[in-house]
Amino acid sequence: MQPRSPNFTTWHITWGTYGARLHGSNRRTVDRRAAAIGDPFVERNEPREQAAKSIMRGNAVYLSDEQQRFIESTVVQLCDRGGWMLRTCAAAVEGDHIHVLLDADPAVHGEKIRRLLKRWLTQAMDERFDRPKSGTWWAVQGSNRVVDSDAYLNRVSPYIERQRSTPSSAT
């Protein structure tokens, strides 16, 4: 594994598919007001889950195997387009979220990278697949974490690799 470089910022960026993990459900979610590492997950709360379901514009999006493979190959091209060095990515086998581990110019924040990746990936998905009835592939929020230590890098890289639907070609 390539060590972290002082000339780049390494980002672990994650986002979910639309409606697949609602706050209050039995699936783990993080409240964006308390999204620091180590903060507890949102507890099971059926009324909160039902309230979230009631405002959904369509069914939850779960990516097919074909869509997962497409995403994993397309992210390589999108990182080239953005000028970022992809370490690895995964369209998680559960079909409900994406992980990207990349190096970027320190002047570019992970939030901007995540927004661009989601936008460009939406364009690519829409060209290849029918758009979901909800009108969107992705949940609104996501996570952008700086990989600030070799220990974190050594944990997160294999974690992402284990979630891939296809063998990695980016390292």
**CATH number of the domain bearing residue 111:** 3.30.70.1290
Please say if the pLDDT value at position 35 is more than 60.
no
Query: Which of 67, 62, 51 is closest to 17 using CA atoms?
Result: 62
- Classify residue 148 by its DSSP letter: -
Q: How far apart are CA 90 and CA 138, in angstroms?
A: 15
Residue 30 lies in a domain: no
Read off the pLDDT band of 94 (50, 70, 90): confident
> CB within 8 A of 60, min separation 6: which ones?
17, 18, 19, 20, 96
Q: Max Cα separation, the chain?
A: 47
Mean pLDDT on 112-131: 97
Residue 114 lies in a domain: yes
Residue 148 lies in a domain: yes
Query: What pLDDT does 138 receive?
Result: 94
Please say if the pLDDT value at position 168 is more than 80.
no
Higher pLDDT, 138 or 30: 138
Residue 33 lies in a domain: no
Residue 44 lies in a domain: no
Please answer whether residues 69 and 165 qualify as being in contact, where contact means their C-beta atoms are separated by less than 8 angstroms. Answer: yes
Query: What pLDDT does 36 receive?
Result: 53
> Domain limits at 72?
9-17+61-163
Query: What pLDDT does 132 receive?
Result: 86
Name the strand (E) or helix (H) holding 98: strand 97-104
The total number of structural domains that make up the chain: 1
Residue 76 lies in a domain: yes
Q: How far apart are CA 119 and CA 159, in angstroms?
A: 25
Mean pLDDT on 4-29: 78
Query: Which of 167, 166, 155, 165 is closest to 1 using CA atoms?
Result: 155
Residue 29 lies in a domain: no
> CB within 8 A of 6, min separation 6: which ones?
none
**80 is written with which tokens?**
């080239």
